Amino acid sequence: MSARPASASPRPSTPCPGGAPAALDAAAAVLGARLAGLAGDAPGALRILEPALERASSRQFLGVAARLRAARGLQLLRAGRTTAGNADLDAARDVLRAAGALPALAEIAVGRAEIVDGTHDPIELFTDVAAWMEMQPVRVVRLEFLLAAMRHAERLEDTPRAEAFRREAEGVFGQIRKMLAAEDDTSLGVHPWRQILRWG
């Protein structure tokens, strides 16, 4: 992973309003927005993200602001505001790529794959983290890529490729399950991965 430029550092020791460090403030906003988005409340998600993004930007926490801008871009895409959403994602990716922030870039790829639901080639969606997936044991990101590839092949009615991707995804899912405690594995019973893979 490349070194993170000083200008892109989130400087987590500096608090935001309420005493929360900048990175924690951003993480809470991203999670809250994601929950609102999953509930179908895109305007509510944006209302959560906007003040957090303003705080991070005004304090020059560039890496934190980029993650928040990416989250806003995904919510805008979900709301059908394609131009604004893609503009946010492009701006965020520029900063995150320069910082070598691969986990944040993976979040963008996974979010976009969920939104397009198989209508785009996943190789394009995951291009920022393709090498990282191959060099590092990033099983969750790899699984999301394989599921996106499976959906894309299904859209193209390429059943053999879809089945091949499904089998590979099952293998990665099995590796993830082996790393979990029994109670965590049980909780995967309602996870979308398990439903998509029809894992018993």
- Residues 109-125: pLDDT tens digits? 999 999 999 999 999 99
Higher pLDDT: 189 or 75? It is 75
Number of domains making up the chain? 2
What would the two tokens of residue 89 be?
């994602």
Asked if residue 141 and residue 91 are part of one domain, the reply reads no
- Listed as own residue / partner, the contacts of 94-98 with beta carbons closer than 8 Å and 24 or more positions apart are 95/8, 95/62, 95/63, 95/65, 95/66, 96/63, 96/66, 96/67, 96/70, 96/128, 97/128, 98/5, 98/8
Asked if residue 114 and residue 85 are part of one domain, the reply reads no
Asked if residue 8 and residue 96 are part of one domain, the reply reads yes
Asked if residue 1 and residue 72 are part of one domain, the reply reads yes
Q: What is the mean pLDDT of the chain?
A: 83
Asked if residue 64 and residue 31 are part of one domain, the reply reads yes
What would the two tokens of residue 141 be?
């990101």
Structural domain ending residue among the three candidates 100, 132, 154: 100
Structural domain ending residue among the three candidates 54, 75, 100: 100
CA distance 159 to 82: 30
Predicted pLDDT of residue 133: 87
Asked if residue 127 and residue 62 are part of one domain, the reply reads no
Asked if residue 8 and residue 66 are part of one domain, the reply reads yes
Asked if residue 50 and residue 140 are part of one domain, the reply reads no
Predicted pLDDT of residue 195: 58
Do the Cβ atoms of 61 and 99 come closer than 8 Å? no
Over range 27-35, report the average pLDDT: 91
Asked if residue 190 and residue 134 are part of one domain, the reply reads yes
Would you say residue 187 has pLDDT above 70? no
Predicted pLDDT of residue 9: 40
Structural domain ending residue among the three candidates 64, 79, 100: 100
Asked if residue 130 and residue 76 are part of one domain, the reply reads no
Residue 194 belongs to what domain range? 102-200
Over range 177-195, report the average pLDDT: 59
Asked if residue 82 and residue 13 are part of one domain, the reply reads yes
Would you say residue 5 has pLDDT above 50? no
- pTM listed for this prediction: 0.74
pLDDT tens digits for range 55-103: 999 999 999 999 999 999 999 998 999 999 999 999 999 999 999 999 9
